Amino acid sequence: MVRGYAGDMDALPKLYRFNWDEANNRWNSVADEVYNGGDVETDPEHPYIGQPRGLWEKQPADGEDLGVLWKGPYLDYPKAVFDNRYREGFSPLWKTEGVLSDAWGRALFFVKEQDNAGDPNSIYLLVISAGPDGMVKLPDPSSPPGPLDRTAAPSSCYDKNEIENQDNIVLEIAPDEWYKSNLDAQNKQTREILEKIRTALIGPPDAFDPSGRRIVGGYIGDMGQWPALWEWNASDSEWAISSGDEGQPRSLWISEPGPFDPGFGWRGPYMLKPWGTGEDEVLRDAWGEPVKFEFEYDDLDDPQLAIKLTITSSGRDKDPDTGGDNIETEITSNQWLIQGMQVKGSVRNVTPKVYEEDPPGSGNWVQAQEQPGDAIVTLKLYHRPGEDSPEASVPVTVEVPAGESVPFTLPATTEYICAGTRRLEVDVTAGDLAGPAISSLIIGAWGTQSPVEEKLLIFVKNPPGESP
């Protein structure tokens, strides 16, 4: 993986123009960009050169700031190699306070060239020392602004065969060294970031129930709903719930107050709080750009019925609208909001039936007419949060005769069930539990339940001392 300036900024450093200030005996940096190394011949007493000042300064020129991606300094501030060269009679190129220099104490030259005009990903950076003889022939300073074109105008580029350049020492950084490898690493890192966000929202991809179906977890599994998307309100200088379909899922790192319906609740944080404050507190990709979250709705009257949440990185070009290098993942509502499903199980009364010998002494045992009273069990499944789901609080009551099993279906009507670990309440109003209380069950993605129907058994018995 590419590190340093190119790794952080995803670009080669800009070469700022340094003008020689004869009156003050120093180099001054300006915001103009230099591609051809500089001009040391037209006016030797007032030369200019290009230097990658962003390697040691976050604000390399007036009015320029390299921003949050800059993690420098990547080099120490360049000190003059020979202070005594600041006397009269020495060329400005020997006076290297504030500019990078070679082992002979002379300023280094930086040239940018490219294979394809207009393609920022085909740029080469040449770092040139004039070598022992101190002579260098740089490209024509009157060349058009921009990296010199190796394909269309090779004669405009730095020529190592020029007489002055015979002993020059040149380091070349090629696009494959900084762009391709960096792009691969950043693409991979961004995909990992999006997968972490997806896991925070819907749980890890390798969590499965006994039926082999994915278990829904994360914020959606805990809360049973999409997270609200927030937008920055510049006029109030604060975050507010978005009025549109885009924003940031701040509930992944900021707790939500209760009260919550049984079985639902915020159990985060699901992600670390992003760096930055105010409007900069957003989830970012490997290029430092905000990750985009956007809902797609089928029913605009119910935000919780959004059919899809798309999570997008704008890629290396940092423009989400171009689409060519965007990196996306998505969560669809049918992965966690299961329509038309009902949970099924049985209540089994372990109290034995009563038998009697008929006629007495015959050895013929038949079921007695008088049996223990039925066990009465009320069950509730909290399958979807909020006041818009009254079925969650409507109990299902079953009466179970001694020695028999009675099936049950929850909820009472088929609607949406939120996948995840859901709360099951069992209230034995006549009788007692005769086995472990089942207080929860797992609703898997695509509509599975665990325990499965055959194993979702509630064991009860008649009250102690009850007899026919």
Residue 21 has what pLDDT? 84
Give CA 309 to chain center in angstroms. Answer: 13
Tokens of 310: 């798309």
Separation CA 62–CA 305 (nearest Å):
51
What 3-state class would DSSP assign to 57? Answer: coil
Give the model's confidence band at 390: pLDDT under 50 very low, under 70 low, under 90 confident, else very high: very low
pLDDT at 389 over 60: no
The predicted-structure confidence for 127-144, as pLDDT tens digits, reads as follows 999 999 999 999 998 888
Give me the residues paired with residue 312 across strands.
292, 328
CB 292 within 8 A of CB 320: yes
Separation CA 277–CA 196 (nearest Å):
21
Q: Which residues, at least 6 apart from 353, have a Cβ–Cβ distance to it below 8 Å?
A: 367, 368, 371, 372, 401, 402, 403
Closest CA to 245 of 220, 225, 228, 259: 228
Bridge-based pairing of strands 337-349 and 355-357 is unpaired
| Greater model confidence, 425 or 323 | 425
Residue 111's Cβ-side half-sphere holds a number of Cα atoms within 13 Å equal to 26
Separation CA 435–CA 330 (nearest Å):
42
CB 445 within 8 A of CB 335: yes
The predicted-structure confidence for 404-435, as pLDDT tens digits, reads as follows 999 999 876 667 788 999 989 898 888 888 77
Angle value at C-alpha 147, between 141 and 151, nearest 5 degrees: 105
| Greater model confidence, 120 or 256 | 256
Residue 87 has what pLDDT? 61
Threshold 0.85, pTM exceeds:
no
Write out 155-180 in H/E/C secondary structure.
HHCCCCCCHHHCCCEEEEECHHHHHH
The predicted-structure confidence for 79-96, as pLDDT tens digits, reads as follows 887 776 666 667 888 888
The most confident of the ranges 166-170, 305-309, 325-329, 432-436 is 166-170
**What is the identity of the amino acid at 392?**
A
The predicted-structure confidence for 183-218, as pLDDT tens digits, reads as follows 777 788 899 999 999 999 999 988 887 767 778 999
Give the model's confidence band at 466: pLDDT under 50 very low, under 70 low, under 90 confident, else very high: low
Give the model's confidence band at 250: pLDDT under 50 very low, under 70 low, under 90 confident, else very high: very high
DSSP string of 295-343, one letter each residue: EEES-TT-GGGEEEEEEEE-TTTT-TTT-TT-EEEEEEGGGTEEEEEEE
CA distances from 223 to 72, 227, 257, 320 (A): 42, 9, 12, 30
Query: Residue 448's CB: how many other CB atoms inside 10 A?
Result: 20
Q: Average of pLDDT values for 235-261?
A: 90
